[in-house]
Structure 1
Amino acid sequence: MQQLYRILQTFMKQAVRSVAFLPVPMIVASVLLGFLFFWLENATSISKWTQDTFPALAITSQDTARTILGMFIGGLITLTVFTFSQIMILLNQVASSYSPRLLPKLTGDRALQFVMGLNLATIVLTITVLLSIRSSDDFKIPNFSILICTILGITCLCLFVYFVTAITKKIQVDSIVDASAQDTIDGLKDERDLGDAGYSDGSIPAGVRSWYPIMSPISGYLGVVNHRALSKLGHAYDTTFYIGVSKGQYVPEGQPLLQSKELLDEEQIDRVLTTVSPIRDQFDDWYLPNLKQLTEIALKAMSPGINDPGTAIMVIDRQTEVLIRMMDTPFHNYFRAKEGGDVWFVRHNFEDILAALMQEMRRYAKEDPLVVRALFQMLYHLLHRAGTSLAYTRSVLLEIRALLEDARSNIPNTRDRSLIARDIRVHRRAIHHLAQLKGRTYALREVNADAAQS
């Protein structure tokens, strides 16, 4: 059952990212709607009601009905072909200018899928109604069906204007950066909410390296793990599990995926793997892939072919917001379900994430003074936010030293170096000043508390 659930879960994630997620069901619905209209036209007097209610829209000639429906079919097919062509051009532009990993964000856009689905569904429904018109003297014109097709056709024309406006806005770099940053923030919020679901932080048990390994059955990426089911299996088998692969990490077939404190038989291992087995595809439905997408946009902007430092600076500003929120997010590494066993797992830590981000940014931006100044500003903002946390302070200071070393080696201009040195002095004074203000605030609070007690 767990294996079937994970297969369905992976299939749904792939489906919602596909551009055909809404169009295919809408086409099927239009076919069923065509049969429903055919039954209503023959079994009820709905067309007579339509003719009496909207006499100006009533059609009395079969040739006129066919002409109107054929006109809508031809026009909508042309409109749909143009829409698909424009989508392909825009997707190619996004892949070449920003990052190919951003394409699922556009193909999975519900508004885009709805417009395409409505165009195709209207074409299919109109063809169905057109085929239902019989060339006989006693045949009644399906005025109700023609009226619905006309309304849908006009709606498609109006939505085309919306589609052009919306898709043009969505491929603008600021919209793409905002969307990726917001997805990252939402992913961090989900991480914080895990604390209410039984997740917590703790020290990995001693001797975990000597536990029995369980090998990966396939080559793939570690996706969503059903920690609750794994915890219950741990209780049933009287063991403790440790997942030594972090989420999103690639695991070759036959390599250790997790470890069990007690030795398990093959049947038990198969049940355990149904809760944690890797998947073939990577998904961006959590915070780290979206943060990497932001970095890729900045790197693409700094490439010689594009050379757009303004976009890179905008990305750095959004990365600053994301990293500050990350400092406030607890990264859990332990879960225990009610009446379940202990499950430990590797977590992504702030130091590794910041180091990976800065390594890429320094590699491509170390010769651009404006971007280097923006990176220093980001790091000193993080240093201020680190506060009394020694781990965060140490991580940020290491990156400041690395960036300073690259700036000294790759920016030879005296004026640029002096401006960077001035920015660093300003940032340091600002941090020192804010620290003094906080100290005065805390001291004032203590004085007020003592006065209140007196």
Structure 2
Amino acid sequence: MGHIYRTLQTFAKQAVRSVAFLPVPMIIAAVLLGFLFFWLEKNTEISKHATEIFPALAITSQDTARTILGMFIGGLITLTVFTFTQIMSLLNQVASSYSPRLLPKLTGDRALQFVMGLNLATIVLTITVLLSIRSNDEYSIPNFSILICTILGITCLVLFVYFVTTITRKIQVSSIIDATANDAMSSLDRERTWSEKGYAEGSIPPEVLLWDAIPSPLGGYVGTVDHDTLAQLGIEYGTRFYIGISKGQYVPRGLPILQTEHRLDKDQIERVLAAVSPIPDQFDDWYLPNLKQLTEIALKALSPGINDPATALMVIDRQTEVLAELMDVPLHNVYRSKEGGEVWFARHGYQEVLVALMQEMRCYAKQDPLVMRRLFQMLYHLLQLAGDRLSYRRYIEHEIRVLVSDARAGISNRADRAVIANDLRYHRRAIAGARRVTVLDQVEA
């Protein structure tokens, strides 16, 4: 049951990111709506009532009805082809200019999916209505169905203008950076609520090293783990679990994916793996993939082919915001169910995230004085926000020292080195002043 649940969950995430998420259901709805209209036209007087309300829209000729519907079908098909062509061109531009990992954010955009879905659904519905018109004198013109198709066709034309405006704005680098950073911030806000669901911070039991390892049945990425099911299985089998692979990391087939305090038999292991087995895809529904995507945008902007340091500076500003928020989010590494089950798991620590980000940024920006200055600004801002939390201060101070070393090795111009040195002195004075203000506030209190 757990395996089926996780399979459906993975499929749902893939479907949501697909460009066909809304168009396919809308096309199916259009087909059903076409049959409903045909039944209403045959068994009710709905067209008669429609012509009484809108007499100017009444059509008395079958040829006129076919001409109108055929005109809408041809126009909408042309519009849809142009829309698809433009979408493919824009997606290719985003992949080549920013990062191919940003494509799911655009293909999963609901506005884009709705416009495409409405165009296709209107075409299908109009074709269904056109096929329902019979060439005989006794057949009445389906004025109600034609009216609905006309309204939908005009709506598609209006939405095309909205689509062009919206998609042009969404592929701007500032919009992509803001959307990626906002996704990271939203995921961090969700992690704050984990405490209410049984998650907590704690020291991993030292005896974990002696626990039995369970190998991964296949190679893949550790995604969403069903901790509640694992905890229930732990109660049933009288054991505890430890997942030593952090979320988002790749685990090859045959290597340990989790450990159990007490040895389990083959059937028990199969039930346990159903709740934790790897998945073939990586999803960006949490903060770290979004933070990596921001870094990729900055590195692409700093590449010689693009050479856009302004974009890199914008990314660093948003990364500062995400890293500052990450310091205030608890690093939950244990789940305890209400019944007493316990599941420990590895987490990406703040130092690990900061080091990985800075390593990539330093590698590409160590010879760019402007970007190096902004990196120093980011680290000193984070240092000031860390306050009295010594562990965070040690991590950030270490990265400052490493960045100074790279600046000395990569920047040879004396004027640029002097500007960076002045910036460092300014940041240090600002932090010292903030500490003095904090001390005075504590004394007055």
Question: What TM-score comes out, normalization by structure 1 length?
Answer: 0.97
Cα distance in 2 for partners of 1:345, 1:315 equals 31
Matched, 1:255 2:255: yes
Matched, 1:103 2:103: yes
Matched, 1:441 2:441: yes
The Cα of 1:344 is off from its aligned counterpart by 0.8
Q: Which residue of 1 aligns with 2:273?
A: 273
Q: Which structure 2 residues correspond to residues 119-198 of structure 1 after superposition, within 5 A?
A: 119-198=119-198
Q: Which structure 2 residues correspond to residues 14-413 of structure 1 after superposition, within 5 A?
A: 14-413=14-413
Instruction: Please give the secondary structure, in 2, of the residue aligned with 1:400.
Output: helix
Instruction: Please give the secondary structure, in 2, of the residue aligned with 1:276.
Output: coil
Cα distance in 2 for partners of 1:262, 1:396 equals 40
Cα distance in 1 for partners of 2:266, 2:341 equals 20
- Note the alpha carbon deviations across 1:249-289, whole angstroms, 9 max, x for none: 00101110000010000011011111111101110001100
Which letter does structure 2 place at the counterpart of 1:90? L
The Cα of 1:340 is off from its aligned counterpart by 3.1
Which letter does structure 2 place at the counterpart of 1:335? Y
Which letter does structure 1 place at the counterpart of 2:84? F
What root-mean-square deviation, in Å, do the aligned CA atoms of Structure 1 and Structure 2 show?
0.6
The Cα of 1:341 is off from its aligned counterpart by 2.0
The Cα of 1:343 is off from its aligned counterpart by 1.0
**Which stretch of the first structure deviates more once superposed, 339-348 or 350-359?**
339-348
**Which stretch of the first structure deviates more once superposed, 123-132 or 200-209?**
200-209
On the 8 A contact 1:233/1:340 being kept in 2, the answer is no
The Cα of 1:440 is off from its aligned counterpart by 0.6
Q: Which structure 2 residues correspond to residues 417-428 of structure 1 after superposition, within 5 A?
A: 417-428=417-428
Instruction: Please give the secondary structure, in 1, of the residue aligned with 2:248.
Output: coil
Structure 1's unaligned 5+ residue stretches are 446-454
Q: Which residue of 2 aligns with 1:7?
A: 7
Cα distance in 1 for partners of 2:233, 2:53 equals 66
The Cα of 1:109 is off from its aligned counterpart by 0.4
Cα distance in 2 for partners of 1:201, 1:181 equals 25
The Cα of 1:207 is off from its aligned counterpart by 2.1
The Cα of 1:363 is off from its aligned counterpart by 0.3
The Cα of 1:374 is off from its aligned counterpart by 0.1
Which letter does structure 1 place at the counterpart of 2:355? A
Instruction: Please give the secondary structure, in 1, of the residue aligned with 2:343.
Output: strand
Instruction: Please give the secondary structure, in 2, of the residue aligned with 1:344.
Output: strand
- Note the alpha carbon deviations across 1:137-157, whole angstroms, 9 max, x for none: 111000000000000000000
Aligned length, in residue pairs: 445
Structure 2's unaligned 5+ residue stretches are none
Q: After TM superposition, where is structure 1 displaced by more than 4 Å over at least 4 residues in a row?
A: none
Cα distance in 1 for partners of 2:86, 2:442 equals 59
Cα distance in 1 for partners of 2:109, 2:302 equals 27
Cα distance in 2 for partners of 1:345, 1:392 equals 21
Cα distance in 1 for partners of 2:116, 2:14 equals 19
Question: What TM-score comes out, normalization by structure 2 length?
Answer: 0.99
Cα distance in 1 for partners of 2:399, 2:242 equals 31
Instruction: Please give the secondary structure, in 2, of the residue aligned with 1:117.
Output: helix
Cα distance in 2 for partners of 1:341, 1:430 equals 48
